[in-house]
Amino acid sequence: MNHHLISRLAAVLAAAGLCAAVPASAADSGMKLRMTASQQYITESELKSGDVLLDGALHIDNYTGFSNLRLHLVSDPELVIENLDFARDASRKESDGADKQSYFVTHGETKVTGLNDQGEAVNVCLWYGPGQVEPAAGVVEDPDSPFLTYRLRVPQGTAAGIYTADVSKSVKTNVVGQLEYDFQAYLGTERLDIPCEGLKVVVEPDPVRGDVDGNGKIEPWDATAVLRFCALTNAGFDLSDPELTEELEQVSGTPYIHMAMKAGDIDLNGKIEPSDATAILVYANLQMIGFDPDWDEL
């Protein structure tokens, strides 16, 4: 998030009465691995009729060089990683006619293993740079290409929740007492510690009109959250901007930010407005004095 956006956001949230912690700087500019998915938010309703399939990729940001890499992708049981492979360029061919890897110009031995012989998910990648005796650092062909691609399957009926996938950094001791590392990266003989950023997929519950934070009650707090959404919108922020995710979670009081915005649209006109906050306050107060209000009659 850039510094101009940070300062604007901090001012708006302060004016709206939300003392939120705002990141002080952008992400580390060093080399890192980053997992992505084509969609971060899905709803329970989408999972009623079948599995949801998401395209995924592992990117190398700010590549500075490695000569060999071993990594293992892992996920919560509610996310299934499938079809792991190197990103491919159909316009460039290997000697055997297969599509070349798109991120690097050349490489040595490489291998991806999605399933073991028992059909269990493994999702391990081995990559060596060019060179017969001592692998050299890989030379980048297309820095905008992913390094790996995969598919994420979210099974039918998965409950609302936040589910993650990541590059494992686990270390295990094998039967002969040796340490086995899920992640290893080297540049020559130098071992590298490359940061890895996983991903999360949020399965959101279906919205309940007026219950912005999803706690099962319609309260004045829900109206406050709507007013804070309005403050951001009026200040020119795009509430669909992924860079605002953490701040919107604080504004709404829930990680289910799309559910929150839909629940706050009381008049169902596709916008969050001060009139929606007023309707929530009226509804909450009528409930407190014993009435059973109807949204369509407010």
Task: Give pLDDT tens digits for 136-153.
Answer: 999 999 999 999 999 999
Distance CA 251, CA 17 (A): 10
Considering the domain architecture, whether residues 99 and 156 belong to the same structural domain is answered as yes
Considering the domain architecture, whether residues 38 and 179 belong to the same structural domain is answered as yes
Confidence of residue 6 (pLDDT cuts 50, 70, 90): low
Least confident of 105-114, 116-125, 253-262: 116-125
| pLDDT above 80 for 288 | yes
* DSSP line for 188-240: TTEE----EE-EEEEEEPPP-TT-TT-SS---HHHHHHHHHHHHHHHTT--TT
Per-residue confidence (pLDDT) for residue 27, from 0 to 100: 40
| pLDDT above 60 for 5 | no
Single residue among 170, 203, 236 that ends a domain in this structure:
203
* CATH number reported for the structural domain that contains residue 63 in this entry: 2.60.40.680
Q: In what order do the strands lie in the sheet with 52-61?
A: 80-86, 148-154, 52-61, 32-37, 196-197
Considering the domain architecture, whether residues 246 and 291 belong to the same structural domain is answered as yes
Q: Is residue 7 included in any domain, yes or no?
A: yes
Considering the domain architecture, whether residues 132 and 37 belong to the same structural domain is answered as yes
> Side-chain half-sphere of 77: how many Cα atoms within 13 Å?
2
Single residue among 151, 168, 203 that ends a domain in this structure:
203
Single residue among 176, 203, 230 that ends a domain in this structure:
203
Averaged pLDDT score across all residues of the chain: 89
Higher pLDDT, 134 or 51: 51
State mean pLDDT over 234-262. 95
Least confident of 22-31, 82-91, 188-197: 22-31
Q: How far is CA 285 from the centre of its chain?
A: 38
Considering the domain architecture, whether residues 192 and 214 belong to the same structural domain is answered as no
Higher pLDDT, 44 or 17: 44
| pLDDT above 80 for 82 | yes
Q: Is residue 60 included in any domain, yes or no?
A: yes
Contact between residue 273 and residue 279 where contact means Cβ atoms under 8 Å apart:
no
3 state SS of 150: strand
Tell me: the pLDDT tens digits for 150-181?
999 999 999 999 999 999 999 999 888 899 89
| pLDDT above 80 for 7 | no
Considering the domain architecture, whether residues 87 and 15 belong to the same structural domain is answered as no
Tell me: the pLDDT tens digits for 91-115?
988 878 889 999 999 888 899 998 7
Considering the domain architecture, whether residues 235 and 129 belong to the same structural domain is answered as no
Q: Burial of 76 by CB count in 10 Å (0-12 exposed, 13-18 middle, 19+ buried)?
A: middle
Contact between residue 151 and residue 53 where contact means Cβ atoms under 8 Å apart:
yes
Q: Is residue 146 included in any domain, yes or no?
A: yes
Higher pLDDT, 28 or 82: 82
Range of the domain at 280: 3-22+207-297
Q: How many domains does the chain have?
A: 2
State mean pLDDT over 118-127. 85
Considering the domain architecture, whether residues 50 and 198 belong to the same structural domain is answered as yes
Considering the domain architecture, whether residues 199 and 211 belong to the same structural domain is answered as no
| pLDDT above 90 for 26 | no
Would you tell me how many other CB atoms lie within 10 Å of the CB of residue 144?
8
Confidence of residue 247 (pLDDT cuts 50, 70, 90): very high
| pLDDT above 90 for 132 | no
Q: What is the DSSP letter of 294?
A: -
Distance CA 103, CA 44 (A): 36
Q: Is residue 43 included in any domain, yes or no?
A: yes
